[in-house]
Amino acid sequence: MRNHTVETLEHLMDRFNYVGSEDDDDRDWIAKERRDYINDAIWDDQELWLPYLVEFDNAAKVAMRELFDHGKRVFDKMSALYKGRIVDVNASLFPSKHYSKLHPVQDHFHEMLWENVLLSERTNEYFDCFLPHLWWSTDRDPNPEKLEDIEVYGLDDDNWNEGLDRELTKDLHLSHYFHHIWECSSFAYTDFIFVREFDQHIEVVIEKDDTFK
């Protein structure tokens, strides 16, 4: 999996490690090139990495349910507090900003690399679509009351295994969250399958009150 091309790309990424750089597009391109090289390299060894993928997906499912419960509580509280005004609550789930202690490579350089890949995701133009977000609004009817009310999370026997060996993963029931991080992000397969902790991001938007000017 480790080769000269990947290592070169990783060292190039280390140059693009701050927000607002004019080189953001270059950093994002390098991150995706690195992802593609690593994903191609591990293709024939998917069975070796499968237990880690299952553990990641199980942790993500728990984290998504916790995110839903948290977001719903915030929406219920804010919509009651600002009754009569439009209140929107958006909730997203990111892999933890802390480098996983489970990753087989533990050094300062790869901790910084993890931060750079996260930075690429949080600052690029695909931010809003990077991971599926949950949404409640007083201008929406009905609002989801439980996670299963959202179509992509409502099927227990669903399996979002596009891009993987279909036969090998046919019984895994991989989540929509996995699908997005695998298909849409700059994370390589061997970056995220060791993640077990997640960061919640909840945004509340309240319609301005024009009664008093």
| 4 vs 37: which has the higher pLDDT | 37
- pLDDT, tens only, 133-149: 799 999 998 999 998 88
Residues with Cβ < 8 Å from 141, sequence gap 6 or more?
Answer: none
- Which pLDDT belongs to residue 19? 45
C-alpha–C-alpha distance, residues 145 and 57, integer Å: 23
C-alpha–C-alpha distance, residues 89 and 138, integer Å: 9
Burial class of residue 125 in the structure, from the number of CB atoms within 10 Å of its CB (0-12 exposed, 13-18 middle, 19+ buried): exposed
**What pTM value is reported for the model?**
0.84
Q: With cut-offs at 50, 70 and 90, classify the pLDDT of residue 154.
A: low
- pLDDT, tens only, 91-139: 988 899 999 999 999 999 889 888 878 876 665 544 444 455 799 999 9
User: Nearest CA to 79 among 20, 165, 137?
Assistant: 137
